[in-house]
Amino acid sequence: MSSKQEIQKDLVHYIKKINFILDNVKKLQEETDKKDLNVLDVGCGVGNISLEISKLGCKVTGIDIDKESIEYAKKRSIKNCTFLVSNAHSLIIKEKFDVIICSEVLEHLKHPERLTEFVSKNIKKSGFVFISIPNGYGPSELSVSPRRFIGKMLKKMHLYDQARNLRHSIVKNPVKKAQDRFGLDTLNAYGEGALHEQFFSIRSLKRLFNKFNLEIVKRQNSFILVGTFPFYYLYSRSRSLQEFDCNLADHVQAFISSGWSFIVKLKN
């Protein structure tokens, strides 16, 4: 498989997120004097994040319900990285985790409190949970809200799959086009993410975490317009615009950002 076909993210906002994760993993390694941290990556997709963390010497288990994504991740795997077709609740947990990753997961769940409860029960007191999530009322979500509304209506009318098949009979090679422009975290039959079930604000996230004895200890704003329709078509072609946008996000209020990354810990 050529480097052009490799399913990986090299966009600035993705690198920003990865560096945020890695910096906090390295810090925990130093604090615990433990290199081989036990890490769980929930919704790992094709393993982009899992593989980066495993390079630090961590023992990583990546899980995802999408079989095709896991099969691809296994082909890329190294010895201290394991990938399984599973959800969190089906795992046999032998010991609690030092780090749990939930990157772009909670917004897709009908019952996000179930996963939140899982991580609160299975994260060590000394460890942390990394969560990245879109701002449910930010520029990116608002820009695609008409499409999401139409998608929900089609689902209710049981016409969603037919409409999607029609779109992909018109738009050729949708997976490759999405990969070339934006990179992909996961594979599925259509190369698209699922419709979002949840639309979080900082306040609603804090309420959810508080319910399960978790608290936000660190936040990073992601970007403003990089993932916003129709700007992402332009931004995907300009690294300078991506860098400007991601840097600007660090200096604005949380509600202006299109998404966030969090370090979440158990309360003392």
pLDDT for 175 equals: 57
Phi/psi at 99 (5° precision): -140, 135
The answer to whether residue 116 sits within a structural domain is yes
Positions of the chain with pLDDT lower than 70, given as ranges: 1-9, 167-168, 171-184, 186-194
Which run of H or E residues covers position 142?
Answer: helix 139-143
Is 33 in contact with 39 (CB distance < 8 Å)?
no
The answer to whether residue 86 sits within a structural domain is yes
Which run of H or E residues covers position 98?
Answer: strand 97-103
The answer to whether residue 105 sits within a structural domain is yes
The answer to whether residue 22 sits within a structural domain is yes
Q: Which residues pair with 97 in a beta bridge?
A: 123
Q: Rounded to two decimals, what is the model's pTM?
A: 0.87
Q: Which two tokens stand for residue 135?
A: 């701002």
What's the structural domain count of the chain?
1
The answer to whether residue 37 sits within a structural domain is yes
pLDDT for 173 equals: 62
Domain with residue 135: its CATH number is 3.40.50.150
Beta pairing, strands 214-221 & 38-42: unpaired
Q: Determine the distance from the C-alpha atom of residue 33 to the mean position of all C-alpha atoms in its chain, rounded to a whole number.
A: 28
Is 85 in contact with 113 (CB distance < 8 Å)?
no
- Which residue segment(s) compose the domain that 121 sits in? 12-139+194-266
Burial of 190 (0-12, 13-18, 19+ CB in 10 A): middle
CB atoms closer than 10 angstroms to residue 104? 19
Q: Which two tokens stand for residue 256?
A: 């202006």
Measured CA to CA, the distance from residue 74 to residue 80 in angstroms comes to 12
The answer to whether residue 167 sits within a structural domain is no
pLDDT for 194 equals: 57
The answer to whether residue 215 sits within a structural domain is yes
The answer to whether residue 71 sits within a structural domain is yes
Q: In this predicted model, what pLDDT tens digit does every residue of 143-159 receive, in sequence order?
A: 877 777 787 788 788 88
Measured CA to CA, the distance from residue 243 to residue 12 in angstroms comes to 6
Sheet holding 59-64, edge to edge: 81-85, 59-64, 38-42, 97-103, 123-134, 259-266, 214-221
